Structure formats: C-alpha cells, structure tokens
Amino acid sequence: MKKLLLGTITTALVAVAAAPAVHAQSVHFGVKAGANLSNLAGDLISQDLYKNRFGFHGGAMVNVGLLADDFLAIQLEALYSQKGFNYADQEYSGLLGTYRTTGHVRYNYLDVPLLLRVKTNGIFFEAGPQYSYLFSIAASRTQSYNGNVLSTLTGGTSDLDRVKRNELGYAAGLGFQTEAGLLVGLRYNGTFNSYARDGYSNDEFRNARHSTFQAYVGFMLSSK
C-alpha cells in the first residue's frame, strides 16, 4: 500500500512539473462542499476513548485536463475542513447517582490536495499528496449528574505552539461527473505524521494522526 501511494504521489508531482510544457486540453474551475466523518488513527494510548465525529468541508478547485476528454487531469483544491473526534461517554455510578461526561474536539484546517485524476464515462478516480494547515482548535466538555447538567466548558486554543500546524498527508477517492459539470464523490484522507508535540494535552495525543472520510457534491465550470 505504501509503495502504491508513494508511486501515485511521485506520478502526480511529475505530472505537475511537466504541465507547463504540455498543451492543456481543458481548464475547469469549480466549487464543492460536503460532510466529514473523522477520528484519530495511530498508536493511541486509549483508542476506545475516541469516537467518530461529523464535520463539514468546502472550497474551490481547478482541474487541468492533460489528455483529450479529460481522461487524465491534474486537480488542485483549497478546502476548509473540520476534523476531530467525539469523546466516548463516560459514566460513573455511585450511591447517590450517576455522573456523566461528554465532549468533543474540533480541528479547523485548510487542506490543499494535489490530485492526479483519471476519468472515463463520467466515473473518475483520484489520488495524490495533500498539505494541511491548522487554523484553530475548539473543544467542549459537559458534565451532568442524574441527567442534570452541572457544567459545560467550551473554548478554543489560541496557543498552538504544542501542535504541528503544518501537515503532509494524502488523499484518494472516486466519484461521478455529469457532462453538465455536476459531480458527487467519496474520498479518504490521512496524514503521515502525528500532529501533537511533546506536552500537548498531557501527551494524550502523542501518536495521533487525523483520519477522515469525505462525501461531497460539487459543480465544475469550463473556462476553456
């Protein structure tokens, strides 16, 4: 799998480098938006503590066709993307009642995937490297007793010195595009490295990497 991924990334980078020397068959601009299903991957201390979380992504894209009928193309995107996780519900029962704690953490990113795209009869496959920049972190924790809320803590993290704001990862997926430009697709993206530095959140996320599935709809316009 790693060899296949590295081969795809290398091919995409070579295609980008050669693009100026190749007469583009077409250039398309478009927009897209959809849902994220994200969680953490890696050698985590307490994997069962983290559950899937829904988020949003959306942005713009440019597609440069390299062969006739856009059979082979390069696609560059700039996307706002919400990643993160929900904490598993934690309950503690005692003689007087039940305490419960719930919460989530949301990471707000700018994702810039550079994809090699193959399309035939409307069906397309895409894969390539992705650069991600972390804008901010938002978290929420709620504590309740016998169903009554005792406290809710919400807020963002302004000090991001203990996280790696720049990440390198990959994206791959498939979809369908109509002749009118409407498209739907599914994609997975992940990262090669952990985003936490030593000391972040008491080293709870020492080996954590983002793992995100995306479903989206979009529209592609032709400018050439």
Distance between CA 187 and CA 111 in Å, rounded?
13
Query: 37-41, 155-159, 174-178: which has the minimum mean pLDDT?
Result: 155-159
Distance between CA 87 and CA 99 in Å, rounded?
15
| pLDDT tens per residue across span 25-37 | 789 999 999 999 9
Distance between CA 133 and CA 195 in Å, rounded?
11
Distance between CA 157 and CA 139 in Å, rounded?
8
Query: 89-93, 118-122, 215-219, 220-224: which has the minimum mean pLDDT?
Result: 89-93
Report helix, strand or coil for 146: coil
Q: In this structure, which CATH number among 2.40.160.20, 3.20.20.140, 1.20.200.10, 3.40.640.10 belongs to the domain 2-18+25-222? A: 2.40.160.20
Whole-model pTM: value is: 0.80
Dig out the tokens for 10 from the structure. 């290398």
**pLDDT at site 10:** 54
Q: What is the 3-state secondary structure (H, E, C) of 31-95?
A: EEEEEEEEEEECCCCCHHHEECEEEEEEEEEEEEECCHHHCEEEEEEEEEEEEEEEEEEEEEECC
